[in-house]
Structure 1
Amino acid sequence: MKPNPIIWCEIYVQDMDRAKLFYESVFQMKLEKLESPGMDMWAFPMTMDTVGASGALVKIDGVQSGGSGTIPYFHCDEVAVESERVVQAGGQIHREKMSIGQYGFIALVVDTEGNMIGLHMPPKEME
């Protein structure tokens, strides 16, 4: 298996407009519509020539949001800034910014659809 094996994630939503507004507000970026039969999909910014994974908000009839047990982590320059935006965008803080030692800082938050996501900030020497 190659390093960084996860290449895609999907975050299931019930209200796409509400979810798009939340993620675009918190991370200060625009999502891009993906054409996929039977699904309403909006992708996070992506490129195929760098390390890392992208993903999309997905609405599929019969698939519920929240409680899946998998937590996607989003890169942040400063976890505290994105945490503030989470609350302003209608989400909730589950666990405030905390150190994970040599790996930086994280916070756990809940989006408007009930999905838990992680915010990750690497230590300054890794940037």
Structure 2
Amino acid sequence: MMNNVATWFELPVTDMRRAQDFYRSVFDVSFKEEEMGAYQLAIFEAEEGAVSGMLVLGEHYQPSATGAVVYFNGGADLNEPLAKVESNSGSVLMPKTPIHDGECGYFAMFLDSEGNRVGVYSKA
């Protein structure tokens, strides 16, 4: 097992279907849907041992543009997922930006369909 600092994340949503549609469209991901008591869950499908997470709808889960930021893998060029954000009810907060003149890759930030501030990272 890899020794990652982060092992799991949860993104709050107010509309589970809209949120799943957003992430499917922007990142071409799939979900495993579950319920746990009064909570609706959509778990990001991931390879065995990979850090993953889920979308959560329920009490005590409120989307936030000012809380912790989860960074998604932007693939070969994060401009590709960024180009899909606005057409899927999100908004780009920071365009593709080099980290140390691009030596450490690139990042960007957006608001998802639920109002969560989310980051995206790529090496190129």
Q: With the length of structure 1 as denominator, give the TM-score of the two structures.
A: 0.86
Structure number with higher helix proportion = 1
Partner of 1:25 in structure 2? 25
Match of 2:115 in 1: 114
| Aligned residue number for residue 69 of structure 2 | 71
Decide whether aligned partners of structure 1 residues 47 and 35 sit closer, same or farther in structure 2, where only a CA change above 3 A counts.
Answer: farther
- CA distance in structure 2 between the aligned counterparts of 1:94 and 1:65, rounded to whole angstroms: 16
Question: Structure 2 unaligned runs (5+)?
Answer: none
* 2:65–2:111 Cα contact (<8 Å) kept: no
Farther-moved stretch of structure 1 (86-95 vs 40-49): 40-49
**5 Å matches for 1:1-127?**
3-49=3-49, 52-67=50-65, 69-77=67-75, 78-101=77-100, 102-123=103-124
Unpaired stretches in structure 1, ≥5 consecutive residues: none
Whole-Å separation in 1 of the counterparts to 2:116 and 2:94: 14
Structure 1 moving runs of 4+ over 4 Å: none
Letter matched to residue 82 of structure 1: P
In the comparison of the two structures, how many residue pairs are matched?
120
1:50-102 CA-to-partner distances (Å, cap 9, x unmatched) read xx410000001243211352000000121111111111111000000000132
Percentage of identical aligned residues: 28
